[in-house]
Amino acid sequence: MYLKRVREIREDNDLYQKDIAEILKITTQQYQLYESGKRDFPLDLIIEFSKYFEVSLDYITELSNSKERRH
């Protein structure tokens, strides 16, 4: 499930949910709902997350084990 990768990326970068919420310009509560799977994570925010951390969408969605993003 892609939410596992989202959490792993956040934790690997020593960031809290509130930090990601600020990066994505949403509330901490919204982000918590997305990361927990209680609400669908909007594609535009997943793309922003991917760009910020410079990881591929394929990696986030577990279609690949390569983090490399193609530009």
Inform me whether the pLDDT recorded for 57 exceeds 80. Answer: yes
pTM: 0.88
* Tokens, residue 26: 């949403």
Which residue would you say has higher pLDDT here, 36 or 65? Answer: 36
Tell me how far apart the alpha carbons of residues 68 and 66 are, in angstroms, rounded to a whole number: 5
Q: Mean of the pLDDT values across residues 5-15?
A: 97
DSSP state at residue 49: H
* Tokens, residue 9: 């990326």
Percent of the chain, pLDDT > 90? 83
Task: Count Cβ atoms below 10 Å from residue 59 Cβ, excluding itself.
Answer: 19
* Tokens, residue 49: 């997350």
